[in-house]
Amino acid sequence: MKFTFTCLIFFALSYAGFAQQKAKYNIRVVDRSGQAVRGIFYAASDNGLTVIRNRKDTLKLSADSISALYIHRRGLVAPLAIAGGLTFFVLAAKSDKLAESVVLIAAGVPAGVSGGLLIGGLLSNKKRYQGLQPKDFPVIKSSLQQYTVLK
């Protein structure tokens, strides 16, 4: 019981520490030819977007070439999936019966992980802009500013 309580306190404190960090948002930008660019949403302006790609290179996209934007919060799904799996693992460790703990690990951990994935996907604050024209960027710039790293 002491070990479980210590683990729960540790997870609560680590979550509180990570909650103070500013949220980052992943973006997928689809251009007029149908190609997609993925990365972290850095900045929005009247004439385009700035995206940080996975290799830490910065890409400036013009508003003329963008046809759709898909934005979602980064780093929310994995912690909830891990918490769901760990919940059933702790329940299995507390069980006195061997058969019950094996069933909780074999069936409960995957169910907890998939439940955490589902809840994380629902809470990930998704935003979609489809059918964009270059004249739309000055209008949606103010709403895009809340998702950018650079304020």
Q: Which domains does the chain have, with CATH numbers?
A: 23-73+128-150 (2.30.30.100)
Which 3 state secondary structure label does DSSP give 30? Answer: strand
pLDDT digits (tens, 9 = 90+) for 112-131: 888 888 887 777 777 888 88
Q: Give the integer Cα–Cα distance in Å for 122 and 104.
A: 25
What pLDDT band is residue 87 in, cutting at 50, 70 and 90?
confident
Under a CB-based contact definition with an 8 Å cutoff, are residues 75 and 124 in contact? no
pLDDT score of 105:
81
Q: Give the integer Cα–Cα distance in Å for 33 and 71.
A: 20
Sequence-distant contacts of 9-12: CB under 8 A, at least 24 apart = 11/83
Percent of the chain residues past pLDDT 90, beyond the cut: 0
Average pLDDT over residues 57-72: 87
Start-to-end C-alpha separation, the chain: 45
Of 16 and 106, more confident: 106
Q: 141: buried, middle or exposed (CB in 10 Å: 19+, 13-18, 0-12)?
A: middle
pTM as predicted? 0.61
What pLDDT band is residue 16 in, cutting at 50, 70 and 90?
low
